[in-house]
Amino acid sequence: DGGITQSPKYLFRKEGQNVTLSCEQNLNHDAMYWYRQDPGQGLRLIYYSQIVNDFQKGDIAEGYSVSREKKESFPLTVTSAQKNPTAFYLCASSTKTGFGLDQPQHFGDGTRLSIL
Partner 1 sequence: EDQVTQSPEALRLQEGESSSLNCSYTVSGLRGLFWYRQDPGKGPEFLFTLYSAGEEKEKERLKATLTKKESFLHITAPKPEDSATYLCAVHKMDSNYQLIWGAGTKLIIKP
Residues at the site binding partner 1, with contacts judged by CB under 8 A: 4, 6, 31, 33, 40-45, 48, 50, 56, 58-59, 90, 92, 97-98, 101-110, 112
Quote the least distance from Cβ 15 to partner 1, whole Å.
26
Quote the least distance from Cβ 70 to partner 1, whole Å.
20
Count of beta carbons in the 10 Å neighbourhood of residue 82: 22
- Name every residue whose Cβ is closer than 8 Å to that of residue 40 and which is 6 or more positions away in sequence: none
Quote the least distance from Cβ 41 to partner 1, whole Å.
6
Quote the least distance from Cβ 108 to partner 1, whole Å.
5
By beta-carbon proximity to partner 1, the closer residue of 48 and 82 is 48
DSSP assignment string, 31-97? EEEEEEE-TTS--EEEEEEEETTEEEE-TT-TTEEE--SBTTB--EEE-TT-S---EEEEEEEESPS
Sheet with 19-25: strands ordered across: 4-7, 19-25, 76-78, 64-66
By beta-carbon proximity to partner 1, the closer residue of 41 and 84 is 41
By beta-carbon proximity to partner 1, the closer residue of 63 and 110 is 110
